[in-house]
Amino acid sequence: MSAVVEVSPAKTFIHPSACVEPGAELGAGVHIGPFCHVGPEARLGDGVELISHVVVAGVTEIGARGRVFPFASIGHQPQDLKYRGERTSLTIGEDCLIREGVTVNPGTAGGGGRTIVGARCVLLANAHVAHDCRIGDDVILSNNVMIAGHCQIGDFAILSGGSATHQFTRVGAHAFVGGLSGVENDIIPFGIAIGNRASLAGLNVVGLKRRGFSHEAVHELRRAYKTLFSAAGTLKERVEEVAAAFPDQPAVQQVVVFLREGGERAICTPRAGREDEA
């Protein structure tokens, strides 16, 4: 470790076998275990722990109290053939748990130059977050979850093991993706998507209850869901019908905003005959 590395004095520990490049910024109480490598433009917040064999490269910031397990690769150049070495960044929020073999890549010039992972996220073993993604707060990515470039994952979303999300896809807040699902279309907030290719299979009622949503809010979401995906007319017409029918229901209006905003992908809908599964 070079003497010019910026290290806060309070109980910081760096194992003798670790390499911390000159210029890296380490907060108070950082713990860097054996055989880790921290690049010259990395910033580790207070209390961050790199357990062992962790690489933090590039213009990468890990928020306070993050824990990173062995063989994670954080901030190495994006897996995009158009990348030409431009200076881009990765920001990971506070209190994140990153397990073994996780890879998180920075942004690209064509995607805004920045990848963002929110606070209190859990990335389990071998999950992958590609370039230019926006991951919200309190998101859980289970083992072997694959998220392609430019995806947006809303707060409290859960993506189950082995699921794959197509580039530019949006997954709404509080949504749930079933294991081994192939997600190629946008999933509404509070929705459940299952299968390959994934289709809507109702609302994440269990998640809603765990997060403290009232019985009334869940009931109104069910009504709105049935209107959106069971009624006649175009989806655009049904969105406006729901917007007018539930003006005082914040959760329903969150779905309305998501659908109005649109994105690069189509909207994930129920399979024929499954519209009433909410």
DSSP 8-class letter at 54: -
166 as an active site residue: the answer is: no
DSSP 8-class letter at 111: G
Cis, peptide link before residue 120, omega less than 30° from 0: no
Residue 54: closest CA among 101, 118, 120, 22:
101
Residue type, 26: L
138 as an active site residue: the answer is: no
Cβ contact 184:167 at 8 Å: no
131 as an active site residue: the answer is: yes
How far, in Å, CA of 191 to CA of 228, rounded?
Answer: 12
Spot the catalytic one: 29, 47, 149, 154: 149
User: Angle at the Cα of 43 (from 158 to 93), degrees rounded to 5?
Assistant: 25
Spot the catalytic one: 47, 75, 132, 136: 132
Spot the catalytic one: 31, 53, 131, 166: 131
Please identify every residue annotated as catalytic: 131-132, 149
